[in-house]
Amino acid sequence: MAIIDRAGRSDRADLPTANRRPRRTPVGWLREHIVLIAGLLALFYLLIPNIVVVVLSFNRPEGRFNYNWNEFSVDAWTNPCAVAGMCDTLAVSLRIAVLSTLAAVVLGTLAAFALSRHRFRGRGGTNVLIFFPMATPEVVMGSALLALFVNMTIVPLGFWTILIAHIMFLLSYVIVTVKARLAVLDPRLEEAAMDLYADERTTFWRVTFPLALPGIVAAGLLAFALSFDDFIITNFNAGSEVTFPMFVWGAAQRGMPPQVNVIGTMMFVAALAAVVIGQFAGRRRRMR
Amino acid sequence: MSTLPAEPLGSLVQPGQPDIPPPRARLRSRRLPYLLLLPALAWLAVFFVVPTITLFSTSLQTGSIYEGYTLTFSFSNYLDAWTRFWPQMLRSLLYAGSATLMAVLIAYPLAYSMAFKAGRWRNVLLILVIAPFFTSFLIRTLAWKTILADNSIVVELLNALGITDVLSLVGLTTGDRVLATPLAVITGLTYNHLPFMILPLYAALERLDIRLIEAASDLYASPFAAFRKVTLPLSMPGLVAGTLLTFIPACGDFINAELLGSMPATAMIGNAIDAQFLRVLDYPSAAALSFTLMVGVVTIVSLYVRRAGTERLL
Amino acid sequence: MSDPIRIAGDAALRLVSLSKRFGDVVAVDGIDLTIPAGSFFALLGPSGCGKTTTLRMIAGLEEPTSGQILIGDVDLAGQKPYRRPVNTVFQNYALFPHLDVYQNVAFGLRRRGIRDVAAQVEQMLAMVELTGYGKRRPSQLSGGQQQRVAVARALINQPSVLLLDEPLGALDLKLRRQMQLELKRIQSEVGTTFVHVTHDQEEAMTMADTVAVMNDGRIEQLGSPVELYEHPKTTFAANFLGQSNLIDGAVESTDGDLAIVAVPGGRLAVPLDRMPGTSQVHVGVRPEKLTLTPADQAESIPSHHNRLSAVVVETRFLGVSTEYIVRILSGQRLAIFVQNAGQPDQLAPGADVSVSWDPAHTFALDVRQAADAGLDHAGVPA
C-alpha cells in the first residue's frame, strides 16, 4: 500500500510535527503520550468484561450464581450442555438467526440496489423510514409488535413471530451495509463492461455483483450476530419459545451456570476468528 | 478495501473513500426501483409502521386484560402515565445523558489514537473494538456484576481511595456498594454503547487531513489549541452521529437497569414499559409510555435530518 | 454473450449534426465531423467544452438528443454500447479490480463467446510491454501500467474506432511524454482509428494527425496541428493553442497581395488570403515569430517587415528561450520569445526596441471575436 495515503498521512503518524520538542522528564513523557494512554485505557475498559467472561468460564461457582471466582475447573468446558434446556435454546437461536439473516439479506440487498442506483420519487422518505428501526429503542419496537400480534391473532406468539420481528429490524442494517458498499462502486466499471460487449445482465453478474458481494457478506454476518444476540424484541414476542439470550436472562434470576460463560467465550472466539479471517481473505485476494 | 469492520453504520463509517462520481440517473427502467424496493418496504410497512400505529391506538384505549379494551381516545392515559412514571422518564434522560457524556470522554481518545497514532495497529484495534460487540451482550453486561461486585478488586480499590465516598455524596453510589447503584447502571450503559460512539468518531477523524493540523501548528497553535480549533470542529459530524446512536438507545434501555441496578431506585422508562406490558398487563399505560419514547426519538432524529439531510443518515 | 455489429474494411467515422442537451444546458451543439479511417484524431478543448460528452456518445454511454453517428454507412446512434464496434480507454482506466490483468484484457473477447483467448492476450500484453503481468491485480500496478492494460483491453477487440478519454491526465510529466510516444507507436502499428480527447494542446499537437478544437459544444476549427497553429481562424484557437499577440486595427488599403491595417503606432501588412473580410480586425502574430532589435539598430530590419516601436517591460529566462514583455505605443503588451542561441547581449527592462516580423507570419481575425477567448483569468491558455 502507498506510503502516503489519501489524506496525506504518512505511516509514521506522530503530530504535530512543528511542536515536537524532546521530552526527557517523566511528566513530559506523560503529557506527550496522554492521549495514547487514555486511548489504551478506553480499550481496556472495552475488553475487560470479555476477559472476565472467559476467566469465569473456568470457574466452579460456589452457589447458583457464577459471579465470583471460587476455584479453577474445566467442568463447564467438558460438559457444555449439562445445563437443562440451554443447548435447546441455542438451537432455536441458531435456526432463527440463519432464517432471518437469509430473508433480510435477500430483501435488503434488493432494496439497497434500488436506493443507491436509482433516483425516484420518495427516495428521501424511504431513507428516513429505513433509518427508524435502527434508531428506535427496542422496547418500543418490541412492545409495538406485541400489540400488533395480540390484536391480530393470525400468528400465535412463538417461533414465527420472533422470526418476523427479527427480519423487521435486521432489514435496516442490511440495507445500510450494502448501500455503503455500493456507494464506493465506481459506475464507470459498469460502463467499461458494457463498452466491452457485456449486456446489462452480464454486466450485473460479472462486474456489479462480485464487487458488491463483500458488502452483502458483511451485511449477512452483521445480521446473524444481531439476530442471535437479540433479547428485548425477542422477549416481547416469544410467547412460550425460548432463545439463548432469553435463557441467559432467566439464568440471571434463577441461577447462572458457568456453561453460559463457556458459550459466551466461544462466541467471542468465533467472532474474533471471523473478523480476522475476513481481513486476511481480503488482503490475500489483493495480493494474488 | 476492508469492508467488515466499519460497515454496520454505513456511510457514517466510511474510512477514506475515493472520489467516485454519483451514479447517472437511469431513466429507462422507471418501474425497476419500485419493484426492487417493494418486498423490504412492504415488510417494514406491515411490521414497523402498522405496529407503531397500533401502539398509538392502544395507548388511547381503556379497559383491562379481563374485560377487553375499547378505543376511547382517552388522551388522559398519557397524562396518567406521565404523572405516574415521570421519575423513570427523568432518570432515563439523566442516565442516558451521563452515559453519552462518559462515552464521549472514553471514546474520543481511543478514536483519536486509532486514527492518528495507530499506524500499523489500526486494523488490530478496529478488530478489538468490534469483536466484543458481536458476543452476547447480556453475558458481557453480567460480567460487570462480577467487576463491580462488593468484594471485587475494583470496588475495593475505589473504597480504599475514598472515591466511593465522594460519589455517594452525589448520589451515584450508596455506602460502599457500587453494584445496584446509579453508577453501575451508567457504567453498563456506557459500556454497551461505546462501539457506537467510537466507530463514527473514528471514521470522521480518519478522514481528517493531517496537514490541517500541521498548518495550525505552523500558525503558532499549541497542540491543545490545534485540537480545539481544528480537530474538534471537523470531527463534529462523527461526534453528533455517535451521540445520536448512543443517547437514543440508552434512553430506552432497561437491561442495564435491571441487571446492574436495583429496582425501583434505578428504574428507567424501559423498565417501566417492560413491567407494564409483561407483568402488570396494563397495555394502555405501557403503550402511552412507549409512544412517548417514540415521539421523543422521532423529534431528535428529525432535527438531525433537517440539519444533515437524508442522504447523510445512511 | 453479445455480438457487436461488425463493420467491414476501413470505414470513416462521421458525426452528423450531433447534439446533446442536459435539461437546459446544451453540452454538444450540432457538430459535424468526419474522422478518416486509420488516423490519429484529437478532440481538443477546455473542461466543459463537450468533448468528453461527444466521446461518450460515440461509445454509446450517452444518448444523443439528435444527430447521427456513422461508421461507414451504419448509424450507431441508438445502439447499446455492447453492440458497437467501438472500445474506450477510460480516464481512470476502469480496470476491473476483482479480475487480474489477464482476465481484464480477455474480458471483451470472452463476452463475444471466444474461448481460445490465450494467444491473443499474450500478443496484446507483449504489444504494451507487459508480458508476464497476467496474474497481477490492477491494484498492484502503477498508473502507467494500468493505463497500458486499459489500452490492451480495448485494442484486443480490434474495434473500428478506439476512443481515449484523457487517458494520460493522471500521469506525471515524464511518464506522460513516454506514453504519448507509446500510443502513437501502437496506433501506427495497429492502424485503428484513434479518437483522443484531451485538454492539453501540446499533447494534441504532438500525437494527432488531425485536431478539432472544441469550445462551448461547437467545433471552432479543424485541421492538422501545423495548420491550426499557424493559421488560427478564431481568437479562441489562437489563444488556446500556444500563445498569440493580438493587436486591434482598421483595414486601410491593399497593396498587391497584402492588406494594410492601421494600428496605433504604425501600419501592419497582412496577407490578403488571411483576412477575415471585416473592416476592423485583430492582427495576430505568434511570439516566436517576432524579432527584437535595439532602437538604435533599427536600420538592420528588412524594409518589408512589419515593425512597431516598444519599450522592454519584463524579461523571463526560460532556459531554451527568453521571454520578453514589451509595451507598444498604445500601452498594450506584447510577448516575444527569443531563442537562446548564444547571443551575448540580453535586452534589459527600460530599453527602447523595435519589434519586427515577416508579414507572411501574420494572421488576422474578426475584431468582434473576444480577444481573451481561450485564456483563463491569469491570461494563460485555458
B75 with B94: CB under 8 angstroms? no
Ranking A226-235, C97-106, C272-281, C370-379 by mean pLDDT, the lowest is C370-379
Residue C380 within a domain: no
Q: Are residues C180 and C290 in the same domain?
A: no
Query: What SS3 class is residue A60?
Result: strand
Question: In terms of CA atoms, which chain A residue is nearest residue B53?
Answer: A144
DSSP string covering C102-155, please? HHHHHHHHHHTT----HHHHHHHHHHTT-TT-TT--GGGS-HHHHHHHHHHHHH
Which grid coordinates belong to B289? 409510555
**What CATH number is associated with residue A250?**
1.10.3720.10
Cβ contact A196–C61 (<8 Å) = no
Residues A181-229: tens digit of each pLDDT: 898 888 899 999 999 999 999 999 999 999 999 889 889 988 998 999 9
Range(s) of the domain holding residue C303: 243-366
Q: Look at C250 and C347; give whichever has higher pLDDT.
A: C250
Residue A178 within a domain: yes
Half-sphere exposure of A129 (CA within 13 A, CB side): 22
B2 with A282: CB under 8 angstroms? yes
Radius of gyration, CA atoms only, chain A: 24
Q: Are residues A145 and A240 in the same domain?
A: yes
Determine how β-strand C280-285 pairs with β-strand A59-60. unpaired
Residue C108 within a domain: yes
Give the model's confidence band at C381: pLDDT under 50 very low, under 70 low, under 90 confident, else very high.
low
Cβ contact C94–A198 (<8 Å) = no
Residue C237 within a domain: no
Tell whether A207 lies on the interface with C, counting CB pairs under 8 A: yes
CB count within 10 Å of CB C124 equals: 24
Q: Are residues C75 and C204 in the same domain?
A: yes
Asked if the bond preceding C138 is cis, omega within 30° of 0, the reply is no
Residue C280 within a domain: yes
Residue A6 within a domain: no
Domain boundary among A26, A58, A78: A78
Question: In terms of CA atoms, which chain A residue is nearest residue B213?
Answer: A16
Q: Are residues C31 and C180 in the same domain?
A: yes
Question: Would you state the pLDDT for residue B26?
Answer: 44
Residue C375 within a domain: no
CB interface of B with A, residues 231-250, below 8 Å: 244-245, 248-249
Residue C371 within a domain: no
Determine how β-strand B61-64 pairs with β-strand B68-71. antiparallel
Q: Are residues A110 and A127 in the same domain?
A: yes
Half-sphere exposure of C322 (CA within 13 A, CB side): 20
Q: Are residues C108 and C223 in the same domain?
A: yes
DSSP string covering C212-276, please? EEEETTEEEEEE-HHHHHHS-SSHHHHHHSS--EEEEEEEEEEETTEEEEEETTEEEEEEGGG--
- Rounded to whole angstroms, the Cα distance separating B35 from A2 reads 42
Query: What SS3 class is residue B54?
Result: helix
- Whether the per-residue pLDDT at C120 is higher than 80: the answer is yes
Alpha carbon B184 to its chain's center: 17
Q: Are residues C212 and C329 in the same domain?
A: no
The beta-carbon neighbor of C4 closest among A197, A211, A288 is A197
Q: Are residues C360 and C262 in the same domain?
A: yes
E strand or H helix at C334: strand C333-339
Question: Would you state the pLDDT for residue A41?
Answer: 85
Count of domains forming chain C: 2
Count of domains forming chain A: 2
Residue C372 within a domain: no
Q: Are residues C188 and C95 in the same domain?
A: yes
Which grid coordinates belong to B248? 437514543
Give the model's confidence band at B115: pLDDT under 50 very low, under 70 low, under 90 confident, else very high.
confident
B chain contacts of residue A146, beta-carbon cutoff 8 Å: 277
B241 with B300: CB under 8 angstroms? no
Q: Are residues A21 and A101 in the same domain?
A: no
Note the ipTM here: 0.83
Q: Rounded to 5 degrees, what are φ and ψ at C343?
A: -65, 140
- Cα-Cα-Cα-Cα dihedral sign, residues B170, B175, B181, B183: positive
Cβ contact A197–C111 (<8 Å) = yes
CA of A279 vs chain C CAs: smallest distance (Å) = 16
Range(s) of the domain holding residue A155: 86-256
Domain boundary among C202, C230, C258: C230
Q: How far apart are the first and last CA of chain A?
A: 14
Q: Are residues C207 and C260 in the same domain?
A: no
- Whether the per-residue pLDDT at B225 is higher than 60: the answer is yes
E strand or H helix at C194: strand C193-198
The beta-carbon neighbor of C94 closest among A188, A198, A288 is A188
- Whether the per-residue pLDDT at C213 is higher than 70: the answer is yes
Residue A151 Cα distances to A66, B50, B78, B276, B284, angstroms: 40, 12, 21, 17, 13
Q: Are residues A100 and A241 in the same domain?
A: yes
Domain boundary among A78, A94, A127: A78
Question: Would you state the pLDDT for residue A6?
Answer: 46
The beta-carbon neighbor of A179 closest among B10, B195, B293 is B10
Tell whether A63 lies on the interface with C, counting CB pairs under 8 A: no
Q: Which of B311, B292, B312 is nearest to B78 (CA)?
A: B292
Residue A97 within a domain: yes
Chosen from C111, C157, C162, C165 to mutate, greatest number of chain A CBs within 10 A: C111
Q: How far apart are the first and last CA of chain B?
A: 19
Q: What are the residue ranges in chain A where pLDDT is below 70?
A: 1-24, 282-288
Q: Are residues A55 and A157 in the same domain?
A: no
CB count within 10 Å of CB A205 equals: 11
Q: Rounded to 5 degrees, what are φ and ψ at C366?
A: -55, 130
Could you give the dihedral angle defined by the CA atoms of residues B188, B189, B195 and B201, in that order, rounded to the nearest 10 degrees? -130
**What CATH number is associated with residue C195?**
3.40.50.300
Cβ contact C97–A192 (<8 Å) = no
Task: Determine the number of helices (DSSP H) and then strands (DSSP E) in chain B.
Answer: 16, 2
Question: In terms of CA atoms, which chain B residue is nearest residue A40?
Answer: B110
Q: Rounded to 5 degrees, what are φ and ψ at C30?
A: 60, 60
Question: Would you state the pLDDT for residue A20?
Answer: 53
Q: How many percent of chain C have pLDDT more than 90?
A: 66
How big is the CA angle at B68 (ends B67 and B71), to the nearest 5 degrees? 130
Domain boundary among A45, A62, A78: A78
Tell whether B301 lies on the interface with A, counting CB pairs under 8 A: yes
Question: Would you state the pLDDT for residue B10?
Answer: 37
Q: Are residues A228 and A103 in the same domain?
A: yes
CB interface of B with A, residues 105-164, below 8 Å: 106-107, 109-114, 116-120, 123, 125, 127-147, 149, 151
Q: Look at A179 and C7; give whichever has higher pLDDT.
A: A179
From its phi and psi, is residue C216 left (phi > 0), alpha (psi between -120 and 50) or beta? Answer: left
Cβ contact C107–A196 (<8 Å) = yes
Q: Are residues C294 and C344 in the same domain?
A: yes
B136 with A267: CB under 8 angstroms? yes
Q: Are residues A101 and A196 in the same domain?
A: yes
Q: Chains with 3 or more CB pairs closer than 8 angstroms to B?
A: A
Angle of helix B182-206 versus helix B122-130 axis, rounded to 10: 140
Q: Are residues C210 and C120 in the same domain?
A: yes
Give the model's confidence band at B281: pLDDT under 50 very low, under 70 low, under 90 confident, else very high.
confident
CB count within 10 Å of CB A91 equals: 11
Q: Are residues A95 and A69 in the same domain?
A: no
Residue A35 Cα distances to A32, B205, B237, C103, C168, angstroms: 8, 14, 21, 48, 44
Tell whether A252 lies on the interface with B, counting CB pairs under 8 A: yes
Q: How many percent of chain B have pLDDT more than 90?
A: 6
Highest mean pLDDT among A178-187, B73-82, C144-153: C144-153
Q: Look at B88 and A7; give whichever has higher pLDDT.
A: B88
Q: Are residues C220 and C309 in the same domain?
A: no
- Rounded to whole angstroms, the Cα distance separating C334 from C332 reads 7
Q: Are residues A165 and A48 in the same domain?
A: no
Q: Are residues A240 and A135 in the same domain?
A: yes
Residue C162: strand pairing partners: C87, C194
- Whether the per-residue pLDDT at B2 is higher than 70: the answer is no
Asked if the bond preceding A26 is cis, omega within 30° of 0, the reply is no
Residue A74 Cα distances to A90, A259, C30, angstroms: 21, 10, 83
Residue C36 within a domain: yes
A234 with A138: CB under 8 angstroms? no
C chain contacts of residue A286, beta-carbon cutoff 8 Å: 137, 139-140
**What CATH number is associated with residue C249?**
2.40.50.140
CA of B278 vs chain A CAs: smallest distance (Å) = 8
Q: Are residues C252 and C149 in the same domain?
A: no
Question: Would you state the pLDDT for residue B17?
Answer: 39
Ranking A19-33, B281-295, C130-144 by mean pLDDT, the lowest is A19-33
Query: What SS3 class is residue B312?
Result: helix
Which grid coordinates belong to B211? 496537514
Cβ contact A16–B216 (<8 Å) = yes
CB count within 10 Å of CB C253 equals: 10
Residue C92 gets which letter from DSSP?
A: T
Q: Is the CATH code 2.60.40.290 the one for domain B87-283?
A: no
Which grid coordinates belong to B46? 406491515
Q: Are residues A212 and A115 in the same domain?
A: yes
Half-sphere exposure of B73 (CA within 13 A, CB side): 0
Question: In terms of CA atoms, which chain A residue is nearest residue B14?
Answer: A180
C chain contacts of residue A195, beta-carbon cutoff 8 Å: 59-61, 81-82, 86-88, 154
Residue A270 within a domain: no
DSSP string covering C64-79, please? -SEEEEEETTEE-TTS
Q: Are residues A174 and A56 in the same domain?
A: no
Residues C173-207: tens digit of each pLDDT: 888 898 899 899 999 998 999 999 999 999 999 99
Average pLDDT along chain B:
79
Half-sphere exposure of C332 (CA within 13 A, CB side): 16
